[in-house]
């Protein structure tokens, strides 16, 4: 589980949670974050994710939760009470988090203007083949695990001594524990199945990626980059002579794109490989459930780079002269336009389009 620390890493890193590896598991995750003393960031943020796609959002001073997908809006229209339930949860948890973060600061004697972050991740996973359900409910404080609910024993575990007092108090609240058990084992999977039914065409689609070879400088590793694929159950690796290699290979994480698709990269260090040996390498992208892999041969001619190319001196001189001529034409046109404004009519718009 990822938590934010006080060194102020990007505050939305908590959204980038580990993906489900199984091809038959679906997930509903709710992430909540409360902050104290953090400038330019809401005091409370809540995000709902289905199969790692953001489906809802709420924040400080919002009176209602906000659907983030068209099919979620359709669901809310058909079931207005569902949106009302989420909106009430959002308002209630804002108050709950505010009270708990203030209480933690006092109990841990955390005074002054220090920044503090309290986070919650809960939800469930459902295996659509076996029917197995797994629920989870975890809290983190200032970048460290704080409390986690054990649904088997209906007790809270406290990895840090500072959380022990809270554990004892929450263990004594039997009504809340029974509600948690019912919600995460029964209600949460029911919600998830409903979302999967409404979002079937979106969540269960298959999108193949665009794959490119990228390199910053001639001495940099070559990055095989795939973007635009869905779902995120994918893998990518480098091969030599048809065999997967691990030496000098650096695998990146699967990351979300703004449109709900995903991207990933795998880098290959070629510093010890002679140019004539490059043809022996290729990059393979495999998407779960898709029979054909996307294979990209390592070819210098197709590598994309952002380095500035070196131009011949004669070409540079020619470009400079051309720019000077263009500048003279522009200046002349400017004077003509000013004369037109002093008594002459500007050129007809149709004439401008013809030129």
Looking at the fold, whether 195 and 251 belong to one and the same domain comes out as no
203, 229, 261: which is the final residue of a domain?
A: 203
**Stretch 279-300: mean pLDDT:** 95
Q: Which of 1-15, 47-61, 218-232 has the lowest mean pLDDT?
A: 1-15
Is 225 found in the same domain as 164? Answer: no
Residue 328's pLDDT is 37
**DSSP-based three-state secondary structure for 18:** coil
| DSSP secondary structure letter of residue 315 | H
Q: Report whether pLDDT(246) > 60.
A: yes
State the Cα–Cα distance between residues 165 and 329, nearest whole angstrom: 79
Q: In what order do the strands lie in the sheet with 281-287?
A: 243-244, 234-240, 281-287, 294-297
Residues 195 and 117 in one domain: yes
Query: Same domain, yes or no, for 238 and 121?
Result: no
Evaluate whether residue 3 is within a structural domain. Answer: no
From 302, 319, 339, the end of a domain falls on 302
Least confident of 52-56, 201-205, 317-321: 317-321
pLDDT in tens, 340-352: 333 323 333 333 2
Name the least confident of 119-123, 145-149, 295-299, 320-324. 320-324
Query: How big is the chain, counted in residues?
Result: 355
266 and 198 in a single domain? The answer is no
User: What's the mean pLDDT in 22-43?
Assistant: 86
Q: Considering the domain boundaries, does residue 147 fall inside one?
A: yes
Confirm whether 31 is domain-assigned. yes
Mean pLDDT computed over 193-203: 94
pLDDT for residue 198 = 96
- Residue 61: name the closest of 44, 48, 46 by CA: 44
Boundary (domain end) residue, out of 135, 169, 203: 203
pLDDT at residue 21, as a whole number: 39
Residue in this structure with the two tokens 């794959």, named with its chain if needed: 211
Q: Is residue 91 included in any domain, yes or no?
A: yes
Domain assignment present for residue 310? The answer is no
**Whether 254 and 157 share a structural domain:** no
Same domain, 230 and 174: no
Name the domain count of the chain: 2
Residue 306 is predicted with a pLDDT of 67
Kindly report, residue by residue over 108-166, the tens digit of the pLDDT. 878 766 889 999 999 999 998 899 999 999 999 998 999 999 999 999 999 988 899 99
Cα torsion for 331, 335, 337, 342, to the nearest 10°?
Answer: 160
**Could you tell me if 269 and 126 lie in one domain?**
no
133/86 same-domain check: yes
pLDDT category at 333 given cuts 50, 70, 90 is: very low
Same domain? For 189 and 270 the reply is no
The answer as to whether 44 is a domain residue is yes
User: What is the domain extent for residue 152?
Assistant: 13-203
* Helices 188-198, 70-78: crossing angle, 10 deg rounding: 120
CATH of the domain at 230: 2.60.40.10
Banded pLDDT at 210 (limits 50, 70, 90) = very high
- pLDDT-derived band at 281 (thresholds 50, 70, 90) equals very high
pTM of the model: 0.68
Mean pLDDT within 67-74: 94
Distance CA 302, CA 205 (A): 30
Q: Which of 55-59, 68-72, 110-114, 266-270 has the lowest mean pLDDT?
A: 110-114
Kindly state whether residues 146 and 19 are assigned to the same domain: yes
Angle at 184 between CA 107 and CA 69, to 5 degrees: 100
Give the percent of the chain with pLDDT over 70. 79
Q: Is residue 129 part of a domain?
A: yes
pLDDT at position 17 is: 36
Residue 272 within any structural domain of the chain: yes
What's the average model confidence in pLDDT over 290-307? 90
Question: Domain holding 182: CATH number?
Answer: 3.30.500.10
Q: Same domain, yes or no, for 193 and 229? A: no
């Amino acid at each position: 589980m990822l938590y934010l620390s006080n060194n102020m890493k990007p505050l939305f890193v908590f959204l980038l949670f580990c993906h489900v590896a199984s091809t038959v598991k679906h997930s509903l995750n709710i992430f909540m974050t409360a902050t104290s003393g953090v400038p330019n960031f809401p005091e409370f943020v809540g995000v709902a994710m289905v199969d790692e796609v953001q489906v809802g959002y709420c924040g400080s001073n919002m009176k209602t939760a906000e659907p983030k997908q068209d099919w979620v809006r359709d669901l809310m229209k058909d079931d207005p009470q569902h949106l009302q339930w989420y909106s009430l949860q959002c308002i209630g948890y804002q108050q709950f988090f505010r009270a708990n973060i203030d209480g933690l600061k006092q109990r841990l004697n955390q005074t002054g203007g220090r920044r503090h972050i309290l986070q919650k991740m809960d939800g469930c996973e459902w295996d659509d083949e076996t029917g197995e359900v797994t629920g989870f409910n975890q809290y983190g404080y200032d970048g460290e695990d704080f409390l986690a609910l054990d649904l088997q024993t209906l007790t809270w575990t406290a990895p840090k001594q500072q959380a022990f007092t809270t554990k004892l108090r929450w263990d004594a609240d039997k009504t809340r524990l029974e509600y948690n058990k019912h919600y995460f084992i029964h209600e949460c999977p029911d919600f998830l199945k409903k979302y999967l039914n409404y979002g079937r065409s979106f969540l269960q689609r298959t999108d193949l990626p665009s794959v490119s070879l990228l390199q910053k400088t001639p001495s940099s590793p070559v990055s095989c980059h795939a973007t635009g694929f869905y779902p995120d159950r994918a893998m990518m690796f480098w091969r030599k002579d048809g065999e997967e290699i691990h030496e000098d290979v650096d695998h990146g994480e699967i990351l979300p794109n703004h449109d709900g698709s995903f991207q990933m990269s795998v880098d290959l260090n070629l510093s010890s490989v002679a140019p004539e040996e490059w043809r022996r390498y290729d990059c393979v992208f495999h998407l779960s459930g898709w029979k054909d892999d996307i294979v990209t041969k390592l070819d210098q001619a197709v590598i994309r780079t952002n380095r500035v190319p070196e131009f011949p001196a004669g070409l540079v001189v020619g470009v400079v002269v051309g720019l000077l001529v263009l500048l003279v034409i522009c200046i002349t046109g400017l004077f003509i336009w000013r004369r037109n404004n002093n008594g002459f009519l500007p050129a007809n718009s149709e004439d401008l389009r013809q030129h």
